[in-house]
Structure 1
Amino acid sequence: MLNLMYLIFLFFFICWFILNVPKRSGETPFDESFVRSFIKRYGGNSLSHLLFLQDKQIYMAQNDSVMISYRQKGNKFFVLGDPIGEELYFEAGLDEFIDYASRMRAIPVFYQASERFLPFLRERGYRFFKVGEEARVCLDHFKIEGKKSAKIRTTRNKFLREGYQFSVIYPPFSTELIEELKAVSDEWLAERYEKSFSVSSFQEDYITLFPVSILRSPQGKLVAFASLPSDYKADESISIDLMRYTKAGSSGAMDMVFLSTIMWAKEKGFSSCSLGMSPLSNVGTEEGAPIPEKIARYVFLNGCKYYNFKGLRRYKAKFATDWMPRYLVYKKSLLLILIIHLMAMVRKQPRLKRNSFVRKLIRVKKAV
Structure 2
Amino acid sequence: MNKTFITYAYFFLLILLSSSCNAKKIKPSIECEIINSDRNEIVFSVHKNKMVDVAIVLRENSDKTVFPAEDKSVPLSSKIYLNELEKYGDNNYLLYYEKNNKLEKIELLIMAHNPNASYFIDVFTTKSARSGSKASKLDTVISFPITILANMPDKQASNVVCRNMTSNSLEISCQNGNGRGRIIVASLNAEAEKPRNGQEYKVGKFADTNCLIGKHSYVVYNSTIMSDLFVKLDNLQQGTYYFAAYEFNGEGKFINYNLKEENRNTRQYTLPVPPPKMKPAKDITQNSFIMNWEPIEDVLRYEISLSKDENFVTVDEFFNNADIGDTNEFPFENLEEGITYYCKVRAIMKNSRPSEYSEVQKVQLKK
Structure 1 length normalisation: TM-score? 0.22
Q: Which has more helix, going by share of residues? A: 1
Larger radius of gyration: 2
Structure 2 length normalisation: TM-score? 0.22
Q: Which has more strand, going by share of residues? A: 2
User: Using CA pairs below 8 Å that are at least 6 residues apart, which structure has the higher relative contact order?
Assistant: 1
